[in-house]
């Protein structure tokens, strides 16, 4: 009978834990430039990528997907961004399809590493918010990320469903053992 008391206590503790610290982490993947991908913008829209970035809400653990041909993507310092200098990147990829994880809050500076492309507008500043940031008053979201955030509360429906499912399973196991259902 002692094991049944331990399981009952474990069930109560797990219920509290999973409601406080959900298991599922939700993040979004954004397609940079939407259908255009990462290409040199037209000469009359050299601010295209900064407009795209400002129309989205990025949080820590979100990912950016860059699609491009015969180009590259780099993360650089603010000075290198402003001067289109690509000699000291913090990150570099020329694979044609690059996923970049936004791993901390703050500003990220992206440029093309191909000579002349940054000067023609193939650059972007992304502002990343802490995952616990309150929702923005107004977000002009012209693109739909593949996984969305629940910006109205700290827990998404997926987190709550995972927590509830685990809690129900543990409760069933604990009470089943208590009442001899598994003997």
Nearest to 120 by CA among 17, 41, 15: 41
Residue keyed to tokens 């196991």: 173
Element (H, E) at 30: strand 29-31
Hey, which bits of 77-180 come out as E strands?
91-93, 97-101, 106-111, 123-129
Residue-wise pLDDT tens digits, 1-44: 566 665 566 666 655 555 555 544 567 899 999 999 999 999 88
75 with 109: CB under 8 angstroms? Answer: yes
Q: Cα-flanking dihedrals φ and ψ of residue 79, to 5°?
A: -60, -45
Average per-residue pLDDT for the chain: 77
Per-residue DSSP letter, 163:
H
Q: C-alpha angle with apex 41: 38 to 42, nearest 5 degrees?
A: 155
Residue-wise pLDDT tens digits, 118-162: 999 999 999 999 877 655 543 434 343 443 333 333 444 444 555
What is the biggest distance separating any 2 CA atoms in the chain, rounded to whole angstroms?
Answer: 77
């Amino acid at each position: 009978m002692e094991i049944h008391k331990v399981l009952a206590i474990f069930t109560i503790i797990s219920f509290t834990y999973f409601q406080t610290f959900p298991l599922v982490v939700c993040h979004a993947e954004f397609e940079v430039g939407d259908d255009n991908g990462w290409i040199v913008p037209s000469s009359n829209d050299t601010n295209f990528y900064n407009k795209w970035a400002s129309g989205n809400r990025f949080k820590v653990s979100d990912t950016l997907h860059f699609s491009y041909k015969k180009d590259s993507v780099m993360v650089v310092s603010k000075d290198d961004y402003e001067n289109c200098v690509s000699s000291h990147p913090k990150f570099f990829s020329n694979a044609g399809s690059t996923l970049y994880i936004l791993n901390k809050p703050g500003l990220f500076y992206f440029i093309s590493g191909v000579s002349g492309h940054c000067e023609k507008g193939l650059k972007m500043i992304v502002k990343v918010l802490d995952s616990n940031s309150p929702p923005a008053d107004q977000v002009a979201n012209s693109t739909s990320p593949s996984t969305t955030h629940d910006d109205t509360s700290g827990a998404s429906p997926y987190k709550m469903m995972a927590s509830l499912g685990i809690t129900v399973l543990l409760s069933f196991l604990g009470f089943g053992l208590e009442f001899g259902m598994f003997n």
